Amino acid sequence: LNRCDSVRRHRDAGVRPYEHEGADIAAVGGDGELRQPRKDIMSPTEKLPIEADKKELTMVNWGIIGCGGIARRRMVPALPECRNSRVIAVMDADRTATDEVAAQIGARAYQSEGELLLNPEVQAVYIATPVFLHHKQVIEAAKAGKHVLVEKPIALTVEQAEEMIGACKSAG
Q: Would you please indicate which residues are annotated as catalytic (active-site) residues?
A: 152
Nearest to 90 by CA among 50, 61, 56, 57: 61
The amino acid present at 57, given as its one-letter code, is L
Nearest to 143 by CA among 161, 163, 128: 163
Nearest to 162 by CA among 133, 137, 123, 135: 135
Asked if residues 3 and 30 have their Cβ atoms less than 8 Å apart, the reply is yes
